[in-house]
Structure 1
Amino acid sequence: MRQPNGRVRPLSPHLQNWRWHVTMTASILFRVTIGAASVGALFVLGWLAAVACGPDSFAAVAEFAGSPFGLFIGFGLTVVLFSFLLNGARHLYNDTGNGLSLKSANLLSNIAVWGPVPLAVLVWVILYATGGNAQ
């Protein structure tokens, strides 16, 4: 598109025009989290179906959940849960009209981006320390 001053510009902003920022990362991760939570809901439905089908089906699902791949999925869904909670809290706080300055937006976005992994690790350490593992 040709601007009135004669310069050629893209029709909409492109990555070449924007500098990457933590608030962009938080926004993208929030959208990814929603998709991952949908996949997690399918695992919950599968678990409920196994419970409804009887002890043999439930034992098979419990065995899968206790496998390394099942534990990896469980840890990933724990990260998704905390990401969803932290980003949701950030959005809720922003909806009140607070946290919109550059400094506070950066702080809240950094918490939402980096906080889920340590929180998930903490939960899984507590689970294993108290004997709450799936094995």
Structure 2
Amino acid sequence: MAGVQRPRAPHLQVYRPQISSVLSIFHRMTGCALGVGTLLLAWWLLAAATGPEAFATAQGFFGSWFGRLVLFGFTWALSYHFLNGIRHLFWDAGLGFELSTMAKSGWAVLVGSVAITLALWVLGYAMAAPQGVPA
């Protein structure tokens, strides 16, 4: 029995990446990113509660080009994870397992997450822009 070779399960080196496998990896990655983003949100809230100096430091970070890039990535991760979670809810109900439906819903999640992210940022910048001086 000691010399019997047990078969190994195929892994990423064997299978060609498909939309569902790539989106599954993205779902896990965005889940981790959301955890880190939540810690950053907690830092910002604690800084706001601590005082003006701490809040200015946090605002300085989030207002920098790198901080805005982090916030943009957090927004995309949140919208992607949300939409892909809805996709998984349909799967839990036994719907959408046909290969063509899986591919279409996967692309819809990708396109939808980018569209939601861009719409939120355009809306955010539009609302933050200084309004005209009232007459």
Aligned to 2:65: 68
- The residue type paired with residue 26 of structure 2 is L
Give me the TM-score of the superposition, normalised by structure 1.
0.84
Whole-angstrom distance in 2 between the partners of 1:80 and 1:24: 17
Give me the TM-score of the superposition, normalised by structure 2.
0.84
Aligned to 2:123: 126
Cα contact 1:25–1:113 (8 A) shared by 2: no
Q: Which sections of structure 2, spanning at least 5 residues, go unmatched?
A: 130-135
Whole-angstrom distance in 2 between the partners of 1:21 and 1:113: 14
- The residue type paired with residue 26 of structure 1 is L
The alignment status of 1:49 with 2:46, answered yes or no, reads yes
Q: In terms of mean alpha carbon deviation, does 68-77 or 106-115 score higher?
A: 106-115
Q: Percent identity?
A: 38
Size of the aligned set, in residue pairs, is 126
Shift of 1:115: 2.8
Shift of 1:128: 1.0
Shift of 1:111: 1.9
* Counterpart secondary structure, 1:11: coil
Does 1 or 2 have the higher relative contact order (CA < 8 Å, sep 6+)?
1
Cα contact 1:36–1:80 (8 A) shared by 2: yes
Aligned to 1:4: none
Shift of 1:101: 1.1
Shift of 1:9: 9.3
The alignment status of 1:88 with 2:113, answered yes or no, reads no
C-alpha root-mean-square deviation of aligned residues, in Å?
A: 2.0
Name which of 81, 88, 98 aligns with 1:101: 98
4+ long deviations beyond 3 Å: none
Q: In terms of mean alpha carbon deviation, does 49-58 or 86-95 score higher?
A: 49-58
